[in-house]
Amino acid sequence: MRAAAIMLACLSLSACATAANEGGVANYDSLAQAQALCAASGGDLRLKSLGDPQDISQYECHRK
pLDDT tens by residue, 7-60: 666 666 555 544 444 458 999 999 999 999 999 999 999 999 999 999 999 999
Report field, pTM of the whole predicted structure over 0.75: no
* Every domain of the chain and the residues it spans: 2-63
* Residue 61 pLDDT grade (very low, low, confident, very high; cuts 50, 70, 90): very high
63 pLDDT above the threshold of 60: yes
Looking at residue 7, its pLDDT comes to 62
Q: How many Cβ atoms from other residues are within 10 Å of residue 8's Cβ? A: 13
Looking at residue 5, its pLDDT comes to 58
CA angle, 29 as apex, 32 and 54 as ends, to 5°?
Answer: 90
